[in-house]
Amino acid sequence: MNRRATLSLVSAWLLFWALMVTTAVQDFLRQDDHGPLWQPILWESSSMAVASLLLALQRLCTRRHDVLLATPSRWFARQALWLPVWWILFTPLAFGIRHGVYALLGAEYRHEPWGETFLYENVKISVFIIIFTLITFGVLSYRAAEQANAQLRTAQLHQLTQQMQPHFLFNALNTISSLMHTDVERADTTLVQLADVLRATLDISGQQQAPLLTELRLLRGYARLMEERFADRVQIEWQIDAACGDCLVPVMSMQPLLENVFKHTVERRRGVTKIAISAQRDGGVLLLAISDDAGRLAEGAGDANIGGTGDAGGIGVRNLRERLQALHGAQATFRLMQLEPAGVRAEMRLPCVS
């Protein structure tokens, strides 16, 4: 059980006994001939001390059975085995404390005959323990479900991130392959640049998010690769707000957007395509955008819903939508917008978390 779950259970336990002490004191004060106020406080405090000890011991001995939470009947069966322990130990220990304190103060603690006392106290403590066992089960089950969801989300993100790397490598090698037939020297330069980009990916190996500065390092490397391939046919302008550098972004989230510009616009034109890459911070929101001055969107490709299932942009954009959804849910938005008279703008808004 992690710290949050433990804190929740301890808080509930202390609140319960605080209410028990308060109730006992109020009932005691309503009596016409009540004695010293320490008496009801001692009664409930002794019960709390013994119950806390037994509960801690029960938890220590049964926590290995938390793997049975998925089958509640088996988990509760393990807890039920502790009821006889409570019946045997609770009353002698709690009442022993009361008798001892009274004796130290020169008084005598009186109660019903032991048979009636055992029956009453065991029924009462059984009800309390059943209720608190149900609370424990609820807290543990919630935490187990939360951890399972977190592990599933991490696995999903890891799979999506790993999916991007061979996709990026395939496109980069394709670029080098095309250059080898026309300009061996440029192909060699491009290959060196690819090596630099792959070296940069080692810094974020196994991560789902990275600082924007790291992401831009990869993006600039990819941009240089493509500028080598499409020399004199592309101009890239960088508009980067320095205040954004530490914000975390999904790994290789901007590269597929830039790749789309080259694939769907630059490759199909003979003229120069101007591309603008920007990163701005507005309070706690990070705005990332890549736009061109010549592209055209296919019909229905501008869905702002990051969880959309449309295939606009191919695997890279679909992958990005899924990763944004997994990381930020409704806090992140992704849009593809048609510019006039021509051009396409891809825009991401997500929380700026350092």
- Angstrom distance (rounded) from CA 38 to CA 102: 11
Cross-strand bridge partners of residue 136: none
| CB-based contacts of 129, cutoff 8 Å, min separation 6 | 55, 82, 83, 86
Distance CA 318, CA 256 (A): 10
In angstroms, the CA 241 to CA 129 distance is 58
Nearest Cα neighbor of 295 from 345, 344, 339 is 344
Q: What ranges do the domains of the chain cover? A: 3-111, 153-351
Residue 193 near residue 222, CB atoms below 8 Å: no
CATH topology for the 153-351 domain: Heat Shock Protein 90 (3.30.565)
**pLDDT tens digits along 163-205:** 445 556 776 777 788 778 777 887 888 788 778 777 766 666 6
Q: What is the pLDDT of residue 279?
A: 95
Q: Within 10 Å of residue 246's Cβ, how many Cβ atoms?
A: 12
Predicted pLDDT at 117: 92
Is the pLDDT at 100 greater than 70? The verdict is: yes
- CA 18 to each of CA 25, 27, 52, 91, 221: distance values in angstroms, whole numbers, following the listed order: 11, 14, 13, 20, 63
Q: Taking Cα atoms as reference points, which of 317, 315, 285 lies closest to residue 304?
A: 317
Select the more confidently predicted residue: 150 or 260. Answer: 260
In our burial notation (b when 16+ CB lie closer than 10 A, e otherwise), range 104-128 reads: eeeeebeeeeeeeebeebbeebeeb
Q: What is the pLDDT of residues 273-317, one digit of tens each?
A: 999 999 999 888 999 999 999 998 876 555 443 333 334 456 667
CA 19, 20, 25, 31 dihedral sign is positive
The CB-based long-range contact list for 148-156 (8 Å cut-off, 24+ gap) reads 153/326, 154/208, 156/322, 156/326
Q: Are 2 and 132 in contact (CB under 8 A)?
A: no
Mean per-residue pLDDT over the chain, rounded = 82
Q: Name residues whose C-beta falls within 8 Å of residue 232's C-beta, 6 or more positions apart in sequence.
A: 272
Q: Which helix (H) or strand (E) holds 287?
A: strand 285-292
The CA distances from residue 204 to 116, 157, 199, 210, 252, in Å, are 69, 14, 10, 7, 10
Give the pLDDT confidence score for residue 312 in this predicted structure.
45
Q: Report the alpha-carbon distance of residue 20 to residue 4 in Å, rounded.
A: 24
Percent of the chain with pLDDT over 90: 32
First to last CA, the chain: 28
Q: Note the pTM of the prediction, 2 decimals.
A: 0.52
Residue 5 — pLDDT band, cuts 50, 70, 90?
Answer: low
The DSSP-derived string for 195-232 is HHHHHHHGGGTT-SEEEHHHHHHHHHHHHHHHHHHTTT
- Reported as a single tens digit per residue, the pLDDT across 130-154 is 988 888 888 888 777 776 566 555 5
Q: What is the dihedral of CA 30, 32, 34, 40, to 10 degrees?
A: -20
pLDDT score of 349:
94
Confidence of residue 156 (pLDDT cuts 50, 70, 90): low
Comparing CA positions, the residue from 207, 168, 211 lying closest to residue 323 is 207
